[in-house]
Structure 1
Amino acid sequence: MTAVAVAVFVVAYGLIASERINKTTAALGGAAIVLALGVVGSDDAFFSHDTGVDWNVVFLLLGMMIIVGILRQTGVFEYVAIWAAKRAKGSPLRVMILLTLITAASSAFLDNVTTVLLIAPVTLLVCERLEVSPTPFLIAEVLASNIGGAATLIGDPPNIIIGSRADLSFNDFLVHMTPIVVLELLVFTLVLPWLFRGSFEVDPARAADVMSLNEREAIRDPRLLTKSGIVLFAVFIGFVGHSVFHIEPSVVALLGAGALVLISGLPQRDYLSAVEWETLLFFAGLFIMVGALVKTGVIAHLAGLATDATDGNALLATMLILVVSALLSGIVDNIPYVATMSPLVSELGESMGRHSETLWWALALGADFGGNLTAVGASANVVMLGIARRADNPISFWEFTRKGIVVTVITVAVAAPYLWLRYFVFA
């Protein structure tokens, strides 16, 4: 069964990467094969926390898509788009820098998927106003969301798993992760002009037109905007305090979506049309295929080889976990990878003494930054590509991955000396 799980995943991944067929078709087809051949059963696929569909991710996305769909009716995205373009003086490069920094900062306090859902409509509108391609902007924002989300316990789902397993608090993440994330964002901002060179030409007349717009006129329904703002604020509080309230973010999102549907009075077509059904199905198929790899022990075996190779050397273990986590998190979704790797890191840490906690930071940095490696490395990537496709601006797997590889290499290269200097040289 192990060989079947690996073969199905490799073929499906190859089809997704080659884009010979629709990625949702490839993911669902692969899921159907491992189910039909008995590699995983219905209990494994639909009810298991370790090998099944992560319904928390699916329903978090569904709830936030509905909220975004209702927000779109207020005109607030047009408002923010005009405001951002005017503050950037109509310069595409300055617009990109502004939006990526907003995305990164928001991703530290909202999860990065939610941030992407909120920022993408703004980006599409800005680019439409300036008559420039939105593709570089969308890619830059999702890369920034994966970097910014690493800063806090709640910013990226792998951090929540690590915090729970290693008993690390919100403040622990602020102290240990936020400094390196700030440094990474500075480097990322400096790299943007080179990474997306040739994407910042704009007609001066279009820039002048944008500067003459009044953003206040974009608000079409102030009362609905007020209601949406209250609900969104409550959802944000629920996300930040989910560990205190003992309510999963997915439940918070669904409650917020339900409340907003009730008080908005909008017809179903206005908010259900914003739901990326194809993206949700893609996630379901991908989770089942990765679950087959988890159940058959493939991921645990790979992770075990990495940890066994350290032979008690704390620095070597730290660097190996960082690099291997970045590579594997870019191939399989970083959520199941971290869930599988956490017990091994915990066991390895027992023999590392005072450096046991360092291994957890290496795992977090590798998994979070490795999510940028490919188009399916993190949930936010898949969501952004789905939004781009629906907006008739499709981003191919390799178009994203070419940029993602560069950013992953840079961020991991910056993270390695940070771990060495902070925890081994100046500890």
Structure 2
Amino acid sequence: MTDTVVAVALFAVTYAGMALGRFPGLRIDRTGIALVAAIALVLSGVLPAHSVAGAIDFPTLAILFGLMILSAQYAGSGFYDWCAYKVAGGDGGAPSPVRLMVVTVAVGGGLSAVLANDVVVFAMTPMLCAGLARRGLDPRPYLIALAGAANAGSAATVIGNPQNILIAQAGGLDFWRFLAVCGVPALAALACVLGVVLWVWRGRLELPHPPAPVSADPPVLDRWPLVKAVVATVALLILFATPLPQDMGVLAVAGVMLVSRQMASRTMLGMVDWHLLVLFAALFTVNHALALTGIPALLVDALQGAGWFPDRLAVMTPLALVSSNTIGNVPAVILLLNAWTAPPEGALYALALLTTLAGNLLLLGSLANIIMVERAALAGVRLGFADHARCGIPMTLLSMGFAVVWLWAGGWIG
């Protein structure tokens, strides 16, 4: 009984931290909270140290790590900075604000479909802020569009974001079939992001008092590392069509990227988001400790008996919307998959699509949103909760509404 009380208490503290982001008076973030809880579970004897490795889903971590290495190759070539510079009209082309918004959504969404959305937002936010300020444009609507497009575009593939990777690994989902099911709703979501931001910020895209020009030298684009990254991406997509496990294919590509004459492996490894990987490992551990108590299985049986099991859109949709904007979509998916054994394939598509799109509702809904806000603040751009919500709420409800109709009409889930 004591072990059960400790496991439940640490689980509750961990997910309260996921919702709050940090604890008042302490400088501990989500990763730190989850890691301390995992350590406490081991030190208290609730979870034997030898069982921790079995609790962690290493194939999921391997895929995340490999994609981060591939993203580092793009970043090291200067590709992200070059994209952001071009999007902001840094070459003197000066596209209209509306056209600039279209390109921002297209670039952010397109890159996020094949690379980790968090890395795309991390790389593009600072340069976008500098270029927009230099043109006298308000960076806030473009940043909202960038994060919204990164989330929406990432919904299209099994490698677009961390929760999709988790779900695909849990259900053994095929890359191309996933794209066929989720690609159209993802495109519709990109259109919703563009339309809503342009509507909400109509007539206000330019700053009332343009600042003095900010010097920003054109970024250097190293073509050979970029060619290597593109070839590696194509090779990865080809590997996904083979029987080779996805984690093995991603790791193979990452290994090739690390063998380089131009980019030091230390540099590439420094671009890996180790905090995110540690967060995943710690959450896997905390959830495993709770699963050992038998409580999640009892709750699942109770929900199923009451007709509230998340294998229907009527339950899945509000569950995705609420959980993604309280504890976050990644922790919510880890928690649900830990309690829900052998979910049907259609429900997994719905879970991936709806939790990803729900992340656009509020600033706390996804890691990409949080990364965007923090990176923008370092560049001197303050984006408020209300600023984001005015766009986030309608774009999320519209995109999720389309996704629900699409999933129901396709017969993937009832």
- Establish whether TM, by shorter chain, passes 0.5: yes
The 1:112/1:168 distance shift into structure 2, 3 A limit, reads same
Match of 1:368 in 2: 356
2-side partners of 1:376 and 1:346: how far apart? 28
- CA offset digits 1:90-148 (Å, max 9, x no partner): 42x43223211222123223342343345335423432322444343233212212211
For residue 278 of structure 2, the aligned residue among 276, 284, 292 is 284
For residue 181 of structure 2, the aligned residue among 176, 181, 201 is 176
User: Which has the higher mean CA deviation after the structures are superposed, 281-290 or 168-177?
Assistant: 281-290
Match of 2:262 in 1: 263
- Superposed, which structure 2 residues align to 1:147-226 within 5 Å? 147-166=152-171, 168-196=173-201, 200-202=205-207, 218=218, 220=220, 225-226=222-223
Match of 2:3 in 1: none
2-side partners of 1:246 and 1:122: how far apart? 36
Contact 1:150 1:159 in 2 (8 A): yes
- CA offset digits 1:33-76 (Å, max 9, x no partner): 442253556556666324x8964376347535643553349973
The 1:123/1:21 distance shift into structure 2, 3 A limit, reads farther
Contact 1:304 1:344 in 2 (8 A): no
- Superposed, which structure 2 residues align to 1:234-253 within 5 Å? 234-243=231-240, 244=242, 246=245, 248=247, 251=251
Match of 1:418 in 2: 406
2:188 is aligned with what amino acid?
Answer: L
Match of 2:95 in 1: 89
- CA offset digits 1:310-363 (Å, max 9, x no partner): 379x9x8232123313332444454454455458767564xxxxxxx5433322
2-side partners of 1:109 and 1:273: how far apart? 20
The 1:122/1:16 distance shift into structure 2, 3 A limit, reads same
Contact 2:80 2:123 in 1 (8 A): no
Which consecutive residues of structure 2, in runs of 5 or more, have no partner in the other structure? 1-5
2-side partners of 1:53 and 1:385: how far apart? 30
SS at match of 2:21: helix
Q: TM-score, normalised by structure 1?
A: 0.72
1-side partners of 2:308 and 2:340: how far apart? 13
1:56 is aligned with what amino acid?
Answer: A
For residue 227 of structure 2, the aligned residue among 219, 226, 230 is 230
Question: How far 1:383 moved relative to its partner?
Answer: 3.9
SS at match of 1:263: coil
1:235 is aligned with what amino acid?
Answer: A
Match of 1:144 in 2: 149
Higher helix share: 1
- CA offset digits 1:155-191 (Å, max 9, x no partner): 3344444445545433322332222222222222211
SS at match of 2:228: helix
Percent identity over the alignment is: 19
Contact 2:152 2:186 in 1 (8 A): yes
SS at match of 1:151: coil
Count matched residues: 400
- Superposed, which structure 2 residues align to 1:13-24 within 5 Å? 13=18, 15-16=20-21, 21-22=26-27, 24=29
Match of 2:35 in 1: 31
The 1:341/1:378 distance shift into structure 2, 3 A limit, reads same
Contact 2:80 2:120 in 1 (8 A): no
Question: How far 1:84 moved relative to its partner?
Answer: 7.7
Match of 1:384 in 2: 372
2-side partners of 1:398 and 1:19: how far apart? 22
1-side partners of 2:128 and 2:72: how far apart? 19
SS at match of 1:367: helix
2:411 is aligned with what amino acid?
Answer: Y
SS at match of 2:312: helix
2-side partners of 1:178 and 1:303: how far apart? 30
Match of 1:352 in 2: none
2-side partners of 1:3 and 1:59: how far apart? 30
Match of 1:116 in 2: 121
1-side partners of 2:330 and 2:188: how far apart? 24
1-side partners of 2:329 and 2:296: how far apart? 12
The 1:189/1:64 distance shift into structure 2, 3 A limit, reads same
For residue 315 of structure 2, the aligned residue among 305, 317, 320 is 320
2-side partners of 1:9 and 1:399: how far apart? 29
Question: How far 1:296 moved relative to its partner?
Answer: 0.5
